[in-house]
Structure 1
Amino acid sequence: MIRLLITEDSLSIVEILKAIFKSDGDIEVVGYAKNGRESIQLTERLKPDVILMDINMPIMDGLEATRVIMSKIPTPILILSSLIKDDDPSISFEALRAGALDIMEKPALQLNPSDKNYEMELIRKIKIVSKVKPIHLIYHNEKNYHTKRRVHIIKDNQILTIGASTGGPPAICCILKNFVPGFPLPILIVQHIFSGFTEGMINWLSKNCSIKVKLAENGEKVAEGVAYFPPCDFHLGIDNSHRIILSKEPPIGGHRPSVDFMMRHVARVFKGKCIGILLTGMGKDGTEGLRAIKQQGGKTIVQDEETSVIFGMPKSAINAGVADIVCPLEKIPSTVINLLSLQ
C-alpha cells in the first residue's frame, strides 16, 4: 500500500483527488496539508511514501516546502501545478530542481468521462515515484561543476541528442548550463513530460542556461549552439537537409515524442557524426535509438545509476550493450567536450 500525503489549499481539489484514489486499491491517503508548513510537519509525523505538492499556497509555497523536505526528510514528491497561473510552471520546475520527481496539471474541478486518462496517468506516476529510494532524491547537480570552457572547434554536420523521462528536466539543465554560446553543435532533446508543460520547461531552461533553448518548428534548419524541444504530442526528427521534422506518427512504446524516433532519425542523417545521451527515466525508450547511433559509428553516453532518479532507461541501454560511456550526470558535459576535442 502506498501511503499518500496531499498538500493542496483547495478543498475542492482535495476531494477530487481523494475520489480518484478511492478507485485504486494500492493507494491510501493518510493526510492532508493546506500549506507547505503543514506538509513539512505531517511528513515528519506520518512518514508518507509519496507527497502530492501544490505550488501556490498561503504561509509557505510548494517550492520552499519541497526544499525543506528534501533537505530534512527526503520523500518522493509529485508536483501538481496549474497551467492557468503564469508563474506556476516556472516555479514547478524549480521544485523539480530542488528534488521533486515529476509534474502534472491539477485535475479539473468537474471530472468527465474523458478525464479517465488523467486519473490513470496520475495513479501511474504516483506508483512510479513511490519506488524511488529517498537517498536518490538529494540532487547531484547543485554543485558548480563548470565545464564552461569555450570550444574552439568547427564541427560541421554534427549533432548532439539527449533523451530523458522522470527526473529529466533538472538533469537536462545540469548539462545545458555548462555549455556556452558558441557551442559547436545543434542539440535535439526529447523529454517525456505531462501535456502542456513543454513551453514552461523551455522558459525555465532559458532562464538558467546561456545557450538558446527553443520550441522546434517544422521545417526549421537546425543551428549550432541551439537546443530544440518538440511541441507536446509530436515526434522530433530531422531530414537530410538538417531541417526539423515534427511528426504525428503513432507513439512508440507509448511515447510521443519518443527518444528512439529522434535518435534513429539523427543516426540515419548524421551517420557517425552524432552523440547520443540517455538520462534518468522509467522504461526503455532510447535503447534502440542509441543502438542506431552506435551502429552508424556515433558515440553514446548514459547516466550512471547513482545520479539517476530512476535507473530504468539508462539500465536498459547498458544491459543492451549500447552505452559507450557510463558516467555521473555532472561529468556528462565535460565528456561531450572531450569527445569533440578528440574528433
Structure 2
Amino acid sequence: MRKIRAMVVDDSAFMRRMIGDILEKAGIEVIAAARDGVEALEKLNGFTPDVILLDVEMPRMNGLIFLDEAMRRGPYRVVMLSALTGEGSQYTIEALERGALDFIQKPSGSISLDIEKKAEEIVSKVRAVVEVPLEKLRDFKALRFPSREAGKVEKGMAGGEAIAEKLVFIASSTGGPRALKALFAGLRNLKKSCAVIVQHMPAGFTTRFAKHLDDIAPFSVIEASGGELTWINRAFLAPEGKHLLMKEDKSLVLNDDPPVAGLKPCADLTLLSAVKAFGKNILAVVLTGMGKDALEGCRAVKNSGGKVVAESQDSALIFGMPGAVVRENLADWVLPLEAIPRVILEWDEA
C-alpha cells in the first residue's frame, strides 16, 4: 500500500521539523515543506500531496490566501493548523468554509514547543481526510451561501417568545462547518421548533462560528451560555469545552463533566438529555464527521418515537457519524445535504 504523502506549510522551521517528525513516525511521508504560502504554491508545481497541513498566520501569503489559490488549482485535502488567537480563529473558520476539511489547534501558540501533545490528533486527522474523494471536494467547494440578513425578522423573532414544541437537533464534525452553512441557507423560519447544534470544535472557535451561522440563517443563531429557554425559531450552538444538556423544562444548561470518547461537547449527551425534555418531538440530523458521536442519542430518539435524518454517503465528506446511524438502521431518511432542509421544514410544520 502506498504511503500517504503530506506537505507541511508553516513559517517556523521548528514547527515544520516537529510536525514532519510526527508524520514520519506514523508512516506518513512528508514530500515537501514550505515556510509560507508563496513557497507552498511553487512546490505544488512539482509535488502532489495527498494532504496539506497548513498554518494560518504566515508572512508574504497567509494560509487563507494560499488555500483559495490551491483549491482553484486542485482541489487539495487541507487540514489547518491554528494558534488560539482572535485573527487565527477567524481565518480558520473562513478556511473551513472555503474548502479546508479540518483543523488542529496548536497547544501553546504559533510556535508550540509541545506540539507532540497533538501527535495523535494530527495523525488521525490526516488519515481521515485522505479518504475524502477529490470529486467530493470539488462539489463541496462549489457550495454557495446566499445572504439572508435582509430576510430575517428581528433576528429570528418570528416565533415570538413561545417555548418550542419540537426540537431539531444537528450533530456534525469533520466537514461540518461548511455543511451547516449550506443547511441553514436552505431553511426558512421555524414555526414550532427550536434548533440545537453540536459541532466538534476546540476552544476559541464556536463563538465566531455561531456568528457565521447567524449571518446566513433565517433566524437567530447564538452560542449557548446556559440558562436559555428553547424558544421557537432560535438556534443554539454548543460551546467548545462544555457539554450542552437540556433540563425537563426545556431550558439549556452547560456541564463540565469529562470528555466522552475524547469529545466535549458530545452530541450523545445532548440528545440523551433532550429526549427527557422533548420526548418523541425530536428530529435528529446527523451530518458529516469522523467517529460515531450521536449514535446512542439517535437510538434514544428512535426509542422515544422521534425521527432521524442521516446525511448520505453521496454528500458527506466523512461518512463516519451518519454511517454509524445508517448501519444500525436508525435513520428514517438517508439524504444528500441539499435535500435535508426540506425534510426539516416539513417535519417542523407537521
Tell me whether the two structures share a fold, i.e. TM-score over 0.5: yes
Over 3 Å counting, the alpha-carbon distance change for 1:338 and 1:167 in structure 2 is same
**What's the % identity of the aligned pairs?**
30
Match of 2:306 in 1: 298
Read off the aligned partner of 2:325 and give its amino acid letter. Answer: A
In the alignment, structure 1 residue 40 sits paired with structure 2 residue 41: yes
Read off the aligned partner of 2:49 and give its amino acid letter. Answer: P
Alpha-carbon distance between aligned partners in 1 of 2:164 and 2:290, rounded to the nearest angstrom: 34
In the alignment, structure 1 residue 244 sits paired with structure 2 residue 245: no
Match of 1:50 in 2: 51
Match of 2:134 in 1: 134
In the alignment, structure 1 residue 17 sits paired with structure 2 residue 19: yes
* Residue 215 of structure 1, CA deviation: 1.9
Over 3 Å counting, the alpha-carbon distance change for 1:45 and 1:276 in structure 2 is same
Query: How does the TM-score come out when normalised to structure 2?
Result: 0.87
- Contiguous gaps of at least 5 residues in structure 1: none
SS of alignment partner, residue 193 of structure 2: coil
Q: Please give the per-residue CA displacement for 1:227-279, whole angstroms capped at 9, x wherever unaligned.
A: 21222222111011111122233433332211111112112221111111000
Alpha-carbon distance between aligned partners in 2 of 1:179 and 1:263, rounded to the nearest angstrom: 22
Alpha-carbon distance between aligned partners in 2 of 1:233 and 1:316, rounded to the nearest angstrom: 24
Read off the aligned partner of 1:118 and give its amino acid letter. Answer: K
Q: Please give the per-residue CA displacement for 1:102-141, whole angstroms capped at 9, x wherever unaligned.
A: 01223543524xx543222222222222222222212446
Alpha-carbon distance between aligned partners in 1 of 2:223 and 2:294, rounded to the nearest angstrom: 21
Query: How does the TM-score come out when normalised to structure 1?
Result: 0.88
Over 3 Å counting, the alpha-carbon distance change for 1:100 and 1:168 in structure 2 is same
Q: Please give the per-residue CA displacement for 1:55-89, whole angstroms capped at 9, x wherever unaligned.
A: 233443322322332233222100112322x2222
- Contiguous gaps of at least 5 residues in structure 2: none
Alpha-carbon distance between aligned partners in 2 of 1:25 and 1:292, rounded to the nearest angstrom: 38
Q: Quick check: 240-249 or 140-149, which moved more?
A: 140-149
Alpha-carbon distance between aligned partners in 2 of 1:340 and 1:317, rounded to the nearest angstrom: 22
SS of alignment partner, residue 204 of structure 1: helix
Alpha-carbon distance between aligned partners in 1 of 2:54 and 2:69, rounded to the nearest angstrom: 13
Q: Please give the per-residue CA displacement for 1:290-335, whole angstroms capped at 9, x wherever unaligned.
A: 1211221212111111111101111111110110011111121122
In the alignment, structure 1 residue 104 sits paired with structure 2 residue 104: yes
Match of 2:202 in 1: 194
Alpha-carbon distance between aligned partners in 1 of 2:205 and 2:240, rounded to the nearest angstrom: 8
Q: Is the 8 A contact 1:3 1:50 kept in 2?
A: yes
Q: Is the 8 A contact 2:146 2:216 kept in 1?
A: no
Read off the aligned partner of 1:41 and give its amino acid letter. Answer: E
Match of 1:232 in 2: 240
Q: Is the 8 A contact 2:164 2:231 kept in 1?
A: no
SS of alignment partner, residue 197 of structure 2: strand
* Residue 156 of structure 1, CA deviation: 4.2
